[in-house]
Amino acid sequence: MQKKITREEAGVRLDAFLPSMCGITRARGLKWIEGGSVLLNGKTPVKAGVVLREGDDIAVDPPEAKPISTVAQDIPLDIVYQDADIAVINKPRGMVVHPAAGHGDGTLVNALLAACPDISGVGDALRPGIVHRLDKDTTGLLVVAKNDAAHLALSEQLRSHEAGREYFAVVFGSPGEESGTVNAPIGRHPRDRKRMAVVQGGREAVTHWEVQERLRGSTLLRVKLETGRTHQIRVHMRSIGFPLLGDAVYGVKTDKTSVLMLHAHKLTFTHPTSGEIVTFSVSPPEDFCKVIVGRKMG
């Protein structure tokens, strides 16, 4: 695949231009650049963010797709909606989204490969179809891409903050305001690499919250994500003094709540084929609702 940059295309970074040129995600394009699959004027680019000039010649030799090592498993899935392009899943508590260290099988991806085998070649080999994730103990909605075009479109919507994600969360304490925004960068914890934290120089992270109901010793919040960093809601709410109930990593040590009180309630995005804005919502699971009922005042 080869392309000569026109005057109109000049001024764009290579890593930003490659996705539109090849119909891939920005993350995959970066891997291709770093892996030597992209040549700029016959040479390996010095950096992925080099600015393109008129007349530059880009040559791409995509690497061969690695065989998927993740196996299909007949695990029940709550598929809220699906068509030829996407599947919207209501993820249960305790299910890991994709294989990783300590979770080689029994994941959402294993279940998806059995329920929607056409996702097998979409995106990353170990995370076929996955465009965003939920923590193991977070319940609720996520959307899966069933072809490369859908994967690219949905990934871009998440990257540009066009897709909307809304959660219910129950936190310790009672915020003095009815709503607020946490705008604080998130990165690896400086002393514990398994945790995330608000750190200087971290990646931009913005979380909006508003009070839904004040409970006994706690508060039910509606939370909207502007960005999607690892553990973002859990880290941000802890950073302002209101950690989530049931959070064994970022919560209060004296907390006896048996479930993480975080549920991905609503998902809004533009359908990659029809161009229509679609919205899906699911109620929290029974164990989540029981905790709220048990904490109601009066």
Q: Which pLDDT score, from 0 to 100, does residue 198 have?
A: 96
Mean pLDDT score of the chain, rounded to an integer?
A: 90
Q: Which pLDDT score, from 0 to 100, does residue 69 have?
A: 57
Instruction: Name the fold adopted by 2-60.
Output: 3.10.290
**15 tagged catalytic:** no
Using a 10 angstrom Cβ sphere, with 0-12 exposed, 13-18 middle and 19 or more buried, the burial of residue 168 is buried
Q: Which pLDDT score, from 0 to 100, does residue 103 have?
A: 65
Say whether 165-264+289-294 and 66-159 share the same fold: yes
Say yes or no to pLDDT of 96 above 80. yes
Q: Which of 15, 56, 135, 137 is catalytic?
A: 135
Displacement of CA 224 from its chain's centroid (Å): 13
Say yes or no to pLDDT of 248 above 60. yes
d(CA 105, CA 98): 8
Q: What is the pLDDT of residues 110-132, one digit of tens each?
A: 999 999 888 877 876 667 889 99
Q: Which pLDDT score, from 0 to 100, does residue 68 have?
A: 46
Place of tokens 């940059």: 5
Out of 46-50, 121-125, 247-251, pick the least confident: 121-125
Whole-prediction pTM value?
A: 0.76
Say yes or no to pLDDT of 137 above 90. yes
Q: Which residues pair with 222 in a beta bridge?
A: 168, 210
End-to-end CA distance of the chain: 68
pLDDT confidence tier of residue 20, bands split at 50, 70 and 90: confident
Say yes or no to pLDDT of 65 above 70. no
Q: Which pLDDT score, from 0 to 100, does residue 117 have?
A: 86
CA nearest 260: which of 78, 94, 77, 76? 94
- Which of the residue ranges 144-158, 195-209, 233-247 has the most confident prediction, judged by mean pLDDT? 233-247
Domain locations in the chain as residue ranges: 2-60, 66-159, 165-264+289-294
d(CA 233, CA 243): 9
Q: What is the architecture, at CATH level 2, of domain 66-159? A: 2-Layer Sandwich (3.30)
* pLDDT, mean of residues 73-91: 95
Q: What is the CATH number of domain 165-264+289-294?
A: 3.30.2350.10
